[in-house]
Structure 1
Amino acid sequence: MTEPCDLSAVAARTLIGERKLSPIELLDSCIRRVELIDPAVNALVARSFETARKVAREHEAAVMRGDPLGAVHGLPFGVKDLIDAEGLPTSFGSVLFADNVARQDEAIVAMLKREGAIVIGKTNVPEWGAGGNTRNAVYGATGNPFDPDRSAAGSSGGSAVALATGMVPLATGSDTGGSVRNPAAFCGVVGFRPSPGLIASNSRNMAWLQISQLGPMARTVADACLMLSCMLDLDGRDPLSAILHAGGSPDAELYRNPPQADLSSLRIAATADFGFAPTERTIAATFAKKVGAVGSAFRQLEWTHPDCTGADEVFSILRAVAFLGRHRELAEKFPDKVGPNIRDNVAEGLGYSAADVARALSMQTELYRRWQTFFAEHDFILAPAVTISPRAWSELYPTEIDGRPTKSYFHWLAMAYAVTNVGHPTVAIPAGRDSAGLPFGLQVIGPRGGDLATLAVAREIEAVLAANPETARPIPDIAWLGRQPPIAGKAGFLAFD
Structure 2
Amino acid sequence: MSELCFRTARELVALMEAGEVSAVEVAQAHLDQVDRVNPAVNAVVSLDPEITLADARAADDARRSGRLLGPLHGLPVAFKDTHDAAGFPTTYGSPIHAQNRPAESELLVARLRAAGVVRLGKTNVPEFASGSHTFNRLFGTTRNPYDLTRSAGGSSGGAAASLASGMQPLADGSDMGGSLRNPASFCNVVGLRPSPGRVPIHPNPLPWQTLAVQGPMARNVGDLALMLGVIAGPDDRVPLSITEDPAVFGGSLERDLTGLRIGWSPDLGGALPVEREVVDVIRKRLHLFEDLGCDVIEVQPDFSGADRCFRTLRAWQFQATFGDLLAAYPGQLKPSLEANIREGAEVTAADVARASKMQGELFQRFAAAFADEYDVLVLPVSQVLPFDADIEYPTVIEGVAQPTYLDWMASSYYVSAIGLPALSVPAGFTDSGLPVGMQLVGPYRHEQLLLEVGRGLELAAGDPPFTPPPTAAG
Same fold (TM over 0.5): yes
Task: Say yes or no: does 1:428 pair with 2:421.
Answer: no
User: Distance in 1 between the 2:432 and 2:349 partners?
Assistant: 45
User: Distance in 1 between the 2:13 and 2:19 partners?
Assistant: 10
**Structure 1 letter corresponding to 2:103:** R
Task: Say yes or no: does 1:335 pair with 2:340.
Answer: no
User: Distance in 2 between the 1:434 and 1:362 partners?
Assistant: 40
Task: Say yes or no: does 1:89 pair with 2:82.
Answer: no
Residue in 2 aligned with 1:489?
none
Task: Say yes or no: does 1:350 pair with 2:348.
Answer: no
Q: Over residues 324-376 of structure 1, what are the superposed CA-to-partner deviations in whole Å (9 max), with x where a residue is unaligned?
A: 11111222332221001211211221222221111111111111111011001
What are the equivalent positions in structure 2 for 1:7-26 lying under 5 Å apart?
7-26=7-26
Q: CA deviation at 1:67?
A: 2.6
Q: Which moved more, 1:357-366 or 1:135-144?
A: 357-366
Residue in 2 aligned with 1:200?
200
Residue 46 of structure 2 aligns to a residue in which SS?
A: strand
**Tell me, which stretches of 5 or more residues in structure 2 are unaligned?**
none
Residue in 2 aligned with 1:453?
449
Q: CA deviation at 1:154?
A: 0.2
User: Distance in 2 between the 1:18 and 1:252 partners?
Assistant: 26
User: Distance in 2 between the 1:64 and 1:216 partners?
Assistant: 29
**Tell me, which stretches of 5 or more residues in structure 1 are unaligned?**
483-497
- Change beyond 3 A, Cα 1:324–1:479: closer
Q: What is the root-mean-square deviation of aligned Cα atoms in Å? A: 1.6
- Change beyond 3 A, Cα 1:305–1:473: farther
Residue 52 of structure 1 aligns to a residue in which SS?
A: helix
Residue 421 of structure 1 aligns to a residue in which SS?
A: helix
Q: CA deviation at 1:261?
A: 2.4
Q: CA deviation at 1:311?
A: 1.3
Q: CA deviation at 1:467?
A: 4.6
User: Distance in 2 between the 1:395 and 1:205 partners?
Assistant: 32
Report if aligned partners of 1:430, 1:473 keep a CA contact under 8 Å in 2: no
Report if aligned partners of 1:310, 1:363 keep a CA contact under 8 Å in 2: yes
Task: Say yes or no: does 1:443 pair with 2:439.
Answer: yes
Q: Which moved more, 1:125-134 or 1:297-306?
A: 297-306
What's the TM-score, normalizing by structure 1? 0.92
Residue in 1 aligned with 2:251?
257
User: Distance in 2 between the 1:22 and 1:454 partners?
Assistant: 33
User: Distance in 2 between the 1:230 and 1:333 partners?
Assistant: 38
Residue 120 of structure 1 aligns to a residue in which SS?
A: strand
Q: 2:394 aligns with which of 366, 390, 398?
A: 398
- Change beyond 3 A, Cα 1:411–1:286: same
Q: 1:274 aligns with which of 268, 274, 282?
A: 268
- Change beyond 3 A, Cα 1:413–1:47: same
User: Distance in 2 between the 1:86 and 1:52 partners?
Assistant: 13
Q: CA deviation at 1:293?
A: 4.4
What's the TM-score, normalizing by structure 2? 0.96
Q: Over residues 69-93 of structure 1, what are the superposed CA-to-partner deviations in whole Å (9 max), with x where a residue is unaligned?
A: 4100000011000000002110001
User: Distance in 1 between the 2:263 and 2:427 partners?
Assistant: 17
Task: Say yes or no: does 1:465 pair with 2:458.
Answer: no
**Structure 2 letter corresponding to 1:284:** V
- Change beyond 3 A, Cα 1:129–1:114: same
- Change beyond 3 A, Cα 1:348–1:435: farther
**Structure 1 letter corresponding to 2:304:** T
Report if aligned partners of 2:289, 2:296 keep a CA contact under 8 Å in 1: no
Task: Say yes or no: does 1:27 pair with 2:23.
Answer: no
Aligned-residue sequence identity (percent) comes to: 39
Residue in 2 aligned with 1:118?
118
Q: Which moved more, 1:283-292 or 1:202-211?
A: 283-292
User: Distance in 1 between the 2:334 and 2:388 partners?
Assistant: 19
User: Distance in 2 between the 1:48 and 1:115 partners?
Assistant: 20
Q: CA deviation at 1:305?
A: 3.8
User: Distance in 2 between the 1:474 and 1:385 partners?
Assistant: 20
Residue 47 of structure 1 aligns to a residue in which SS?
A: coil
Q: Over residues 189-218 of structure 1, what are the superposed CA-to-partner deviations in whole Å (9 max), with x where a residue is unaligned?
A: 111111111111112221111000000111
Report if aligned partners of 1:19, 1:63 keep a CA contact under 8 Å in 2: no
Q: Over residues 363-398 of structure 1, what are the superposed CA-to-partner deviations in whole Å (9 max), with x where a residue is unaligned?
A: 111111110110012111111111100111111011
Q: Which moved more, 1:259-268 or 1:393-402?
A: 259-268
Q: Which moved more, 1:347-356 or 1:166-175?
A: 347-356
Residue in 2 aligned with 1:370?
365
User: Distance in 2 between the 1:110 and 1:371 partners?
Assistant: 34
**Structure 1 letter corresponding to 2:268:** F
User: Distance in 1 between the 2:27 and 2:321 partners?
Assistant: 36
Q: Which moved more, 1:86-95 or 1:305-314?
A: 305-314
Residue 92 of structure 1 aligns to a residue in which SS?
A: coil
Report if aligned partners of 1:180, 1:217 keep a CA contact under 8 Å in 2: yes
Residue 240 of structure 2 aligns to a residue in which SS?
A: helix
Residue 240 of structure 1 aligns to a residue in which SS?
A: coil
Q: Over residues 227-268 of structure 1, what are the superposed CA-to-partner deviations in whole Å (9 max), with x where a residue is unaligned?
A: 111112422221111xx21xxxx4343212245322223011
Residue 54 of structure 1 aligns to a residue in which SS?
A: helix
**Structure 1 letter corresponding to 2:118:** I
